[in-house]
Amino acid sequence: MSGAALLLAVGVSLGLAAEGRDGTVRATIDDAKAIGEVSPLIYGGFIEHLGRNVYGGVYDPEDPTADEDGFRKDVIAAMKELAVPCFRYPGGCFTDLWRWEEGVGPRAERPVRLDPAWRQKETNEFGLDEFMKWLGKVGADPILCLNLSTQGAAEAQRLWEYCNFPGGTTMSDRRRKNGREKPYGVRYWCLGNEIWGPWEIGHRPADRYGVDAREAAKAIKTFDAEAKTILSGSDGPDWNETALSIAWEYVDYLSIHQMFNRKRMLPFVRCADRLTRSIKRAAATCEKVRLAKKSEKRVPLAVDEYIFWDGDRRYRAGEDWTKGRHCLEQDYNLRDAVVMGDVMTVFHNHADVVKIACIAQSVNALAPVRTEKGGVLWRQTTFDPIRYASAYGRGTALRLKTEGNEADDVHASVVRRADGSLAVFLVNRGEKEHDFSLVAPGKWRVAESREIAGDPEAVNSPSAQPVRARPTDDVAVGKDGFSVSLKPCSWLFVLLARCDEGVVIHFED
């Protein structure tokens, strides 16, 4: 045990609150009541044709890192490091005018268009087949977002047929001619994007959307009864209830989007609380509609966009209507890392209802990974909290009983993994240090412990990465669990292994 940990253990046992510290938070695992299985799909990504997410991010044939298909190998490696299981594609607002057929076939014949959503040029060099090929290299599955703004059920069926039918029809044979013999087996379909929002081309009231979504979902499910459809929901309950009531029979998930506004949601470090409220509200609506329908089916949630943004589009001068323009490229600081860690605890602690979540977005635009030309890639502050959650937070989310957390500074989640180890995720959102102890019956050793702490304003850049998850030896294992001091505005990860059992460590630095 380090000197600091020993002091802490003595301090905790004497019930002392050292100067600058704010009480001891004690969490006990309520083993009898697991929350639920953590769906791996909560660690999803999002590739929208937006700024340099695709062009200059995922795809950049001129870059020295490009592989034979023009995909940046360093981006592929970073996505694998995050173990992203699925990516939503191709938008977002971009989907409103997405004509998927323009992005397949010989590149020279693909139309060049203007995309009004992001005032950019879309050359269609990167389209559906390129996305699928890229997914194969990353090892992830697609969540395709249907254009239900300016298209409908007929186009959805054509897209399904292109993607999923073995052959012998015009659409499936077109895929084969384009180089992909085997069907892609796309399973997840978003029924449009944010159609509740007045900014969307195709925006309409919930009752009209409900009918259109139902018919598109029906069209897809006529072909594949196992297909999973995701209804576009809003943060307001009325829209959700109306649309869900109309489309219920054909819907498998209700989507909600969460924008964490870095300028308006103050104090920003606590903004994951709004996510908790939104999840509870949306889950309650699903339950209300289920009861009204007398349905056995449960409709869980897909938080298929969560966004850390300050509202500024950050367009670069002189790039209007160009391909791969700089857009939404936001620097994140250490506080954002704590918020990201908090978001992960919220997902774990609602593992019973949140079954899909996608960060918006994955590369460059509002993303944990940024690139520059010439093989430069860096990990933003938000990268490691996702990486550790994705690597270790798979298994059963356990319920915690917490005492001494009156200021609600400390948030924690615990996932019991298949090998019996416990992955513990912690954030201290307060301005003072907190002593924390976890009571987990058993004999444990610390297999891994990492911390992000320091100046809340610190950012990563291509030349310096001060905000990464660093090993810490401050975790003091006791008879039944561990104790640790949580620094102000910090994130901590602890992997507890049973003393008599092995533990699978997913990666080493």
Please report how close the Cβ of residue 484 comes to ligand AHR at its closest, in angstroms: 35
Structure-block tokens of residue 175: 């895929």
Strands 490-498 and 444-452: antiparallel
Q: What is the distance, to the nearest Å, from the Cα of residue 182 to the centroid of all Cα atoms in its chain?
A: 29
Phi, psi (5° rounding) for residue 470? Answer: -100, 145
Q: Which of 93, 283, 400, 422 binds ligand AHR (CB under 6 A)?
A: 93
Are residues 341 and 427 in contact, defined by beta-carbon separation less than 8 angstroms? yes
Q: Which of 92, 127, 142, 233 binds ligand AHR (CB under 6 A)?
A: 92
Are residues 30 and 339 in contact, defined by beta-carbon separation less than 8 angstroms? no
Of 40-69, binders to ligand AHR (CB under 6 A) are 48
Q: Which stretch binds ligand AHR (CB under 6 A): 36-44, 86-94, 223-231, 290-298?
A: 86-94
Please report how close the Cβ of residue 193 comes to ligand AHR at its closest, in angstroms: 5
Q: Which of 194, 304, 336, 448 binds ligand AHR (CB under 6 A)?
A: 194
Please report how close the Cβ of residue 35 comes to ligand AHR at its closest, in angstroms: 28
Are residues 446 and 501 in contact, defined by beta-carbon separation less than 8 angstroms? no
Q: Does 193 bind ligand AHR (CB under 6 A)?
A: yes
Of 343-402, binders to ligand AHR (CB under 6 A) are 360-361
Q: What is the distance, to the nearest Å, from the Cα of residue 451 to the centroid of all Cα atoms in its chain?
A: 21
Nearer to ligand AHR, 131 or 493 (CB): 131
Nearer to ligand AHR, 260 or 482 (CB): 260
Nearer to ligand AHR, 44 or 481 (CB): 44
Of 289-308, binders to ligand AHR (CB under 6 A) are 305, 307
Task: Enumerate the active-site residues.
Answer: 194, 305
Please report how close the Cβ of residue 93 comes to ligand AHR at its closest, in angstroms: 4
Q: Which stretch binds ligand AHR (CB under 6 A): 91-99, 172-180, 215-223, 266-274?
A: 91-99
Of 153-182, binders to ligand AHR (CB under 6 A) are none
Q: In 3-state terms, what secondary structure has residue 35?
A: strand
Helices (H), 165-232: 170-177, 206-223
Identify the H or E element spanning 401: strand 396-403
Are residues 390 and 84 in contact, defined by beta-carbon separation less than 8 angstroms? yes
Are residues 132 and 184 in contact, defined by beta-carbon separation less than 8 angstroms? yes
C-alpha 279/C-alpha 300 separation (Å) is 10
Under DSSP, the state recorded for 487 is: P
Residue type present at position 182:
K
Q: Does 115 bind ligand AHR (CB under 6 A)?
A: no
Please report how close the Cβ of residue 158 comes to ligand AHR at its closest, in angstroms: 23
Interface residue list for ligand AHR (CB under 6 A)? 48, 91-93, 193-194, 305, 307, 360-361
